[in-house]
Amino acid sequence: MLPISTLWRIARRDLAARIRGLRLLAVCLFLGVATLAAIGSLTSGITAELATRGQTILGGDLQFGLPQRQASEAELAGLRGAGATSATVRMRAMANAPDGSALLSELKAVDAAYPLYGTMRLESGARRGPPPPGAIWIGKDLASRLDLSVGGAVKFGDKSFRIDGIIADEPDRLGEGFSDLAATQLIQPGSLCESKYRVRLPAGADPVAVGKRLSAAFPDAGWEVTDRSNGAPGTRRFIERMGQFLSLVGLAALVIAGIGVGNGVASYLAGKRPGLATLKVLGADSAAVLRIYGLQILAVAAAAIAAGLIAGALAPAAIGAIAGDVLPVKPGLAVYPLPLAVSAAYGLLIAIAFALPPLAATRHIPAAGLYRATVDGAGRIEKRVLAAVALAFAAIVALAVGTAREPLFALGFIGAAVLLLLILVALGWLVRRIASGVPRPKRPLLRLALANLHRPGAATGALVVALGLGLTLFVTLAAIQTSITAEIARTVPERAPSFFVLDIPRDRAAAFRALVTGTDGKAAINMIPALRGSVTEFAGKRVDELAAAA
């Protein structure tokens, strides 16, 4: 048996002479691995940025949320005993421009300690605490949609505020929601509002322990406790789920690329038949030939995977620069080993699964038979080769399910993809059978085209699978978008009211009805009482204990 160094020297020289034959292999692996690495790196970058900026996004080390009320003096004393405390109150109200246009907006009243972390910036510069008395700061979106500017006025209820500045950066924007206004004096009894108290803990304090201690000290407070480790849970869940879905779609695309890998390797080896025959005539056994060309394919695959990983690692910073404010946070330029390692493993397993059958087929063809391989075909695939391919696909499934945030969803997606693959394989076989059974056309061009569908070694099945999978992905994504859009367009006009009004006090309900019926006597009014609150106990157990047990 020739040493590996000799085999590599032969493989390297032969590869340097004709590497263009493996371009399809390189391109397919590069695109597939780069896509997966970019998706994984972007997801990891955003979640890492959310975790790193947890204090700033949350507005403190701990947050205590209270719906429909403000904290009592005893509760405030307990919070202040834990650390520096800042209070904010949120509510919704209609912003009325001087020209009569209006927009539902979100108001936020802050105290002098706001913000505990980060910097509140207006377009004119950094600020701290609330706006001056009688003034208000508004967001860019509200200013654009109502055509408002600094020095102008905006009205809420019966009170008009002078616009003192346009908000450029609100440090707790993700933790609070996309606030358009920061104002006060509009909280009335019965208003739908939410109070949040942020606490800045001393260095070394454990936020989880402090949160549990304060919850135990005030068991009837009913507040929702959030710590800095997960300042924007809704955003984090959305990013992780979207990343999982896109990763599965990218994996399906990589499987489609794997068909191109198999075809590229088969085409490359078909073009190397004279070299294969020469090696065997000179005394090289089948194992040596397999290792030589296996080393070539492995070297090209490794280079393509490495290039894909580099492109995928750089993609989040590029996407962040291009997307701007579309992303919740901008991921920085950093390397995230786990998604890159997973992407590299996917690429390597796909290369093995699709390149091994055409490569292994050269072992059992004699030197003279290599010249007739196009006519005779490669024969059946060995059982051990099939076992190796099956093992590679099993590893891909295990990797996809093991790294998924929701394993059952990933398993269902893969199961549906496998079922579709089997249907397409059967369809490809059916096309070949039909093509072999139809009468031969008289025109030579049509006769050759039909014969190429069922001849030995024809790629009809692979092409049907590749085109079918690719088309299915596009149709699925388009169908999801079209279905959601159609559902909104069909359902909303039928069920949605012409107008909706929030936060009507109970003692003003009759006056509101009279106002509406006085304008349109046939108007149908549906008034629904609303109250927000926190679930503190379930089945005799506190919610925080249930969450800890889960």
What confidence category does residue 26 fall into, taking pLDDT thresholds of 50, 70 and 90? confident
Residue 107 DSSP SS3: strand
Signed CA dihedral, 288, 289, 294, 295: sign only = positive
Q: Rounded mean pLDDT of 431-453? A: 83
Read off the pLDDT of residues 187-246 as tens digits, 9 standing for 90 and up.
555 566 788 899 999 988 888 889 888 988 888 887 888 887 765 666 667 777 777 777
Greater confidence (13 vs 227) lies with 227
Helices within 122-190 (DSSP H only): 140-145, 173-176
The per-residue pLDDT for 189 is 56
- Which residue reads 């959310």 in tokens? 50
Neighbours of 199 (CB within 10 A): 26
Question: What is the C-alpha to C-alpha distance for residues 64 and 229, in angstroms, rounded to an integer?
Answer: 14
Read off the pLDDT of residues 110-127 as tens digits, 9 standing for 90 and up.
888 888 888 888 888 888
Q: In the chain, where are the structural domains located?
A: 4-52+237-405, 62-200, 407-495
Is the model's pTM score more than 0.85?
A: no
Q: Are 269 and 15 in contact (CB under 8 A)?
A: no
Greater confidence (415 vs 489) lies with 415
The per-residue pLDDT for 184 is 39
DSSP character at residue 533 = -
The per-residue pLDDT for 549 is 42
What confidence category does residue 186 fall into, taking pLDDT thresholds of 50, 70 and 90? low
Greater confidence (228 vs 81) lies with 81
The residue type at 440: R
Structure token digits, residue 121: 């910036």
For 2-67, the three-class secondary structure string (H helix, E strand, C coil) is CCHHHHHHHHHHHHHHCHHHHHHHHHHHHHHHHHHHHHHHHHHHHHHHHHHCHHHHHCCCEEEEEE
DSSP string, 193-210: EEEEEEEEPPTT--HHHH
Signed CA dihedral, 123, 128, 129, 135: sign only = negative
Q: Rounded mean pLDDT of 70-92? A: 88
The answer for residues whose C-beta is within 8 angstroms of residue 207's C-beta and 6 or more apart is: 61, 62, 201, 227, 228, 229
The residue type at 273: R
Q: Return the H-helix or E-strand segment holding 296.
A: helix 286-323
DSSP string, 459-471: -HHHHHHHHHHHH
The per-residue pLDDT for 282 is 67
Read off the pLDDT of residues 495-533 as tens digits, 9 standing for 90 and up.
677 777 777 777 788 888 888 888 888 888 888 887 666
Helices within 218-285 (DSSP H only): 233-271, 273-281
The answer for residues whose C-beta is within 8 angstroms of residue 108's C-beta and 6 or more apart is: 88, 89, 90, 176, 179, 181, 182, 183
The per-residue pLDDT for 185 is 46
Q: Are 261 and 350 in contact (CB under 8 A)?
A: yes
DSSP character at residue 439 = P
Mean pLDDT of the chain: 79
